[in-house]
Amino acid sequence: MNNSSLQNQTITFNALSDVTYGDAPFNLTATASSGLTVTYTSSDDNVASVSGNTVTIHGVGMVTITAAQAGNGTYNPAPTVDQSFEVLPKNLTVSGLIAEDKVYDGTVA
pLDDT tens column, 12-69: 999 999 999 999 999 999 999 999 999 999 999 999 999 999 999 999 999 999 999 9
In a domain, 93, yes or no: no
Domain ranges, residue 56: 11-88
Looking at residue 65, which CATH number applies to its domain? 2.60.40
Per the domain annotation, does 4 fall within a domain? no
Handedness of CA 93, 97, 102, 108 (dihedral sign): negative
> Does 17 map to a domain?
yes
Task: Provide the domain count of the chain.
Answer: 1
Provide the whole-model pTM. Answer: 0.83
Question: CB–CB of 13/50 below 8 Å?
Answer: no
Asked whether residue 44 is domain-assigned, the answer is yes
